[in-house]
Amino acid sequence: MKDDLYRSMKEAIIAGDRVRAAALAQDAIGSGVDLLEVIEKGYVPGIQRVGELWEEGEYFLPELISSAEAMKAAMSVLDPELARRETKARTAGKAVIGTVEGDIHDIGKNLVASMLQAGGFEVHDLGADVALDRFIDRAEAVGADLICLSALLTTTMINQKRLIGLLRDKGLRDKYKVLVGGAPASAKWAEDIGADGYAENAVAAVKLAKALAGRG
């Protein structure tokens, strides 16, 4: 019985069906099953499978977004109930994310933010064209594990490097893992500027974030 429920949840996420994902979350609340188990055995395997389908070249960006939205819909039903029962979903970590200053491109950043959230991270999305100080201020305020910096332009990615310099100047470099992404970024770029990691796409970003946040 529970297995059927979990399978349906997984399928709803894979299909990107947010209405069904939310309805199943409601069913779970009504039936009194352990909600943490629901997340771990129902929804999480769904989003993991979506990541695999993306890596296999079966899924593209629209499917990824729909599935992340379905995950969000389920969690928005479960979260208030978890809070009422005074339990908390295990968070993978806290991430502050944004597109660096001078750059208004936010498609890639939005996708990574959605996938991080679907992957269990508490995500603080600062938007696009974000002043570098704001990344650090917010990370300090929320006690973030990760700072994720997006840049689409070859002319603005230098701000990823500048942020790392700023962290150093403030004596905060070792407090946060800094992830960089965006079309012109690369693993070599990440290494050159002293970032903690680079991911080529949103699925890889979640894997990297989980490895770096160390809460796995």
Partner 1 sequence: MSRSLLELVHDRPVLLDGAMGTELMSRGLSKGACPEIWSVERPEIVTAVHADYFAAGSDVVSTNSFGGSRIKLDGHGLAGRTYELNLSSARLARSAAPAGKYVAGSVGPTGKFLSPQGEFTEEEFEESFAEQARGLADGGADVLLLETHYDLREALAGLRGARRVTAIPIFVTMTFNAHPRGFFTLMGDSVAKCAAELERAGAAAVGANCTLNSEQMVGAVRAMRQATGLPLVAQANAGQPVLGADGDVSYSQSLDDYVKYVPDIVKQGARLVGGCCGTSPAFIRAMAPFVVRGASA
Residues that bind partner 1 (CB under 8 A): 57, 59-63, 65-66, 69, 101-107, 153-158, 161, 183-184, 186, 189, 192
Burial classification of residue 155, based on how many CB atoms lie within 10 Å of its CB (0-12 exposed, 13-18 middle, 19 or more buried): exposed
Q: Between residues 11 and 69, which has the closer beta carbon with respect to partner 1?
A: 69
- What is the C-alpha to C-alpha distance for residues 184 and 46, in angstroms, rounded to an integer? 31
Helix (H) / strand (E) element for 123: namely strand 121-125
C-beta separation of 112 from 96 below 8 A:
no
Q: Between residues 5 and 183, which has the closer beta carbon with respect to partner 1?
A: 183
Q: Between residues 80 and 184, which has the closer beta carbon with respect to partner 1?
A: 184
CB of 128 to partner 1, least distance (A): 8
Helix (H) / strand (E) element for 122: namely strand 121-125
- What is the C-alpha to C-alpha distance for residues 145 and 114, in angstroms, rounded to an integer? 17
CB of 6 to partner 1, least distance (A): 26
Q: Between residues 82 and 102, which has the closer beta carbon with respect to partner 1?
A: 102
CB of 207 to partner 1, least distance (A): 20
